[in-house]
Structure 1
Amino acid sequence: MRVLGIETTCDETAASVVHCDDEGRGTIMSNAVLSQIAEHAAYGGVVPEIAARAHLDMLDLVVARAMVDAQCDFTKLDGVAVAAGPGLIGGVIVGLTTAKAIAMVSERPLLAVNHLEAHALTARLTDAVEFPYCLLLASGGHTQILAVLGVGEYVRLGTTLDDAMGEAFDKVGKLLGLPYPGGPNVEQQALRGNPYRFTFPRPMLGRTNPDFSLSGLKTAVRTEAESAAPLSDDDVADVCAGFQAAIVDVVGDRVSVGLSRFRERFGEPTALVIAGGVAANKAIRATLERRAADAGLKLIAPPGYLCTDNGAMIAWAGIERLRLGLVDDLGTSPRARWPLQELSA
């Protein structure tokens, strides 16, 4: 089985061809990603209109590159998968329209994939993780702890009550004058900072429900930064280190509670999995490795290039659904919002 995956929900224009053998093992045959960081850097965040125009200009070329790299043509595909949401609606429309055209002309099935489901299933592509497993999905737009019971079967155990984790990292980076995207730059600054100089709150720590709340932490960072202004390079590094230390403590605690809630409802998970852009943060990975080991589990963290938005995860989610006969018609609509709980196999 060979599927083309297209991803245009935010600021990466991506396409990939993934092959699945008879044993269910996936192989990434190509993975073309064109980042729009330079286009959005001047604004300190993603501008939806600019993102949609960039997808429109570049998607055909990115798809062509993915097909050439895979040494594949459309007649050799078994399906065309595309992220049909959730995301910035302009970009989603570009990707879905392109995928529909390819599917129609090549007479291949269309697979309208939920972007969050693609993140949730990536560990099955990279590590062949068996269901059910506990997932921390942490990105710029989403922070959730999920029970992944099967394809199309997701139970949300916890979520953020305000800011997503990646959003908090990016906003702190912008507040401190760091280049866009803020998350990776905050992590880099934290490596040389003193995490004990500034004392930041650990919201929701010790609560019995595995939810997150990060807006108060973000406000505390702003207050400390304004009190210490003008900030030196060392001040910025120390603020970043203190902020990241607080996030790490919160993540460890919330995931431990999430694992307990998982066991109460569904029994023993096969693994603890982390996915989404924040999964690339090494400090967060390290604390989750310890928490997983304490729980007698293995932490599965896909490589960094599969944690950020990419076409390979879309193609793999398409394969998972195609294997179950879950295909979509050409009337499928793009969706800016699409909770995982609305999916069904």
Structure 2
Amino acid sequence: MKILQISASYKPAVIYGGPIMSVAMLCEQLANAGCEIMVYTTTANGSKELSVTPNEAANIDGVAVIYFKRITKDHTHFSPTLLKSVWQNVKNYDLVHIQAWWNLVSVLSCLIAVWRKVPVVISARGTLSPYSFQNKNKGIKKIIHHLLTKPLFKRSHCHVTTEREKEAMLSLVHPKSIFNIANLVKLPLANYTAGNNGGSVFKLIFLSRIEEKKGLDILINALPYLTFPFTLTIAGDGDSNYVDGLKELVKTHGHEQNVNWLGFQNENKFELLNGHDLLVLPSYDENFGNVVIESLSQGTAVLLSEFVGLSAYVVQKKLGWQCEPDSRSLANQLNLISGQQAQLTRIRTTAPAIIESDFDKSKLLNQYTTMYTHIINNG
């Protein structure tokens, strides 16, 4: 099985958060299973470029990756050399897997593959939903959606990661088929779940990229309504102007002493999650939410907005709570949760084994290879 994976960015560009790590994890597991994987990506690393040799295949953790120079920055990532290589080589592959949407690498590579009659599966990775038309460049997106997105998806297959993402996708496009398979999430071999964090101060954590759709403003605006002693750790980076605005909001509410801004965290994030009582992710829109799995793998319960893809799973498995993306709703739930120590202790004890079983990488890998085989055989 020869698969061309196309992603506008790829590790070590971890600045783009969970989707990049999920794509890399998928490619690594496929390569380990004997699939012939080639990744086409760009040198994108936020406003900077990765220090890599362009246009040459590199072995990145067992995966063949070619980084192409881009001539436009985030989030268009226009790369003529990448597109030229797709045109020249796409027929050598059984299938093309497009990662994310709304960038010129994904859209134009998909167009080339469809034109050259190579089977395509698209993982939008949270970039294609009704919410995506409410924020940046919505006018241009609507034009592209009607001229390219709808026709290309009609000729392609689609991969989603949750039932909520599936519903959102089918409200916008009508692919040849759609597959619901969870993200592969890299979890540590060792776990840090021996202790319980119960104490007089309730420890909240927000761990994510800091951008509008993540709803950090909702959490900050909920702080004045909390009726218990708390600390809030914010672990993540984002646009400096936006982050500065949020810091000013914390100051306005008079909670500077309660809030700790750590910036981007990676190597120690599991220990960090384990050291808190509750992960809060009040996103306005979230197709999956890798950090939810990461947190629960360490025994730390979660509070999610109803628009986080994994919220239904969390409620069904009784591993956390759900709220509306609204400060009062969030505050009410936090006030309730802070007094439910028995529930928090149960989750800390049982969640790691549940996550290990439900998100077992060998099971998920089998689902991905079955999807690929079906698409290759049916076109």
How high is the TM-score relative to the length of structure 1?
Answer: 0.34
- Relative contact order, higher structure (CA 8 A, sep 6+): 1
What is the TM-score of this pair, normalised by structure 2?
0.32
